[in-house]
Amino acid sequence: MPIFYNKVRKVVNPNARAGQEIEYKWFPVAKAIRKATQKDIAKYISRETTLNPKEAEMAIAMLAEATDFYLKQGYTVSLGDWASFNVTLTAKGSASEKDCGPEDVTRVVPHCRFSKSFVSELQNDVTYQIGTSLESVGKSSSYSEENEGGGSGSGSGGEITE
């Protein structure tokens, strides 16, 4: 199954000075065609493991709950060779160190950093298809239902096709 994209014209030099010509280029921009829900992921996991779909869904829910718990305790959460989670703070500044405190925090921002090996694997064996729907490649049902055996997609290593 390909990654879908749209062609979008963007300004290359948005900070051009007065008198400079504004340069535009066309870029492929990824376009999601559907959202894989927690149930979809649980069904996939159940096909690849001994867990049934409800057990897999509970494991995903518990992963989210445990991640939330540990982040709130000040931990960075590492999920092996897949990803890690941490938080940063958005805050208003104080004039002095003495006046700087928790009341200055305006927002807690969660971050997910995927491992280099995960990102590298995502780059491999991927194809691209212009369009915004499965119908543009003749598919009408969801990916998770079609690929009962799981596995990775086939592709041409990053080639963009139309």
Owner of token pair 């057990």 = 55
Class of domain 3-13+23-161: few secondary structures
- Structural element, H or E, at residue 113: strand 105-114
Give the separation between CA 5 and CA 63, rounded to whole angstroms: 31
For the stretch 48-78, pLDDT in tens is 999 999 999 999 999 999 999 999 999 999 9
For the stretch 20-52, pLDDT in tens is 888 889 999 988 888 999 999 999 999 999 999
pLDDT of residue 17: 79
Q: Which two tokens stand for residue 87?
A: 């938080």
* Single pTM value for the model: 0.67
For the stretch 106-132, pLDDT in tens is 999 999 999 999 999 988 888 888 886
Give the separation between CA 126 and CA 155, rounded to whole angstroms: 5
Domain ranges of the chain: 3-13+23-161
Crossing angle of the two packed helices 38-48 and 53-72, in degrees rounded to 10 = 120
Which amino acid, residue 126?
A: V
